[in-house]
Copies of this chain bind each other. A is one copy, B any other.
Amino acid sequence: MEQEDSCIIRLFSNYCALSEEDKRLLHRLEESPIETRAGQVLWEECDKASEFCTISKGWAYSFRNMDDGSRQILELFMPGDIVGMREFAFSQRLTGLAMIDDGVICHFPHHRLMDVFRTSTTLTAVLFAIVSRHQALLTERLVNLARRSAQQRLAHFIYEIYERLNQTGAPSDGHFRLPLSQEQIGDALGLSSVHVSRTFTSFRKQHLVLRERHRMHLPNPQALAELADFDSRYLNDSLKPIFCDNGKQERQNGSSNVTTE
Contacts and interface: CB of A to CB of B under 8 A. Distances in A.
Contact of A50 (B74, B233, B255): B255
Number of copies: 2
A111 B196 CA distance: 45
Given A92-B233, A256-B49, A138 B136 contact: no
A85 interface: yes
Contacts of A91: 237, 240, 256-258
Interface string A131-148: 111111011111101110
A142 B153 CA distance: 14
A42 B123 CA distance: 31
**Size bin of chain A's contact surface:** 35 or more
A95 interface: yes
Contact of A117 (B117, B130, B133, B146): B117
9 nearest A-B pairs in the assembled complex, by CB-CB distance: A146-B190, A89-B129, A88-B132, A50-B255, A50-B256, A89-B238, A89-B132, A91-B258, A145-B146
Interface of A: 15, 48-50, 64, 66-67, 70, 72, 74, 85-92, 94-95, 109-111, 113-114, 117-118, 121, 124-125, 127-136, 138-143, 145-147, 189-190, 229, 233-234, 237-238, 240, 242-243, 245, 252, 255-258
16 contacts: A48-B256, A49-B256, A64-B143, A66-B147, A88-B132, A89-B130, A89-B136, A90-B132, A91-B256, A94-B140, A94-B234, A95-B139, A114-B252, A118-B245, A138-B138, A141-B142
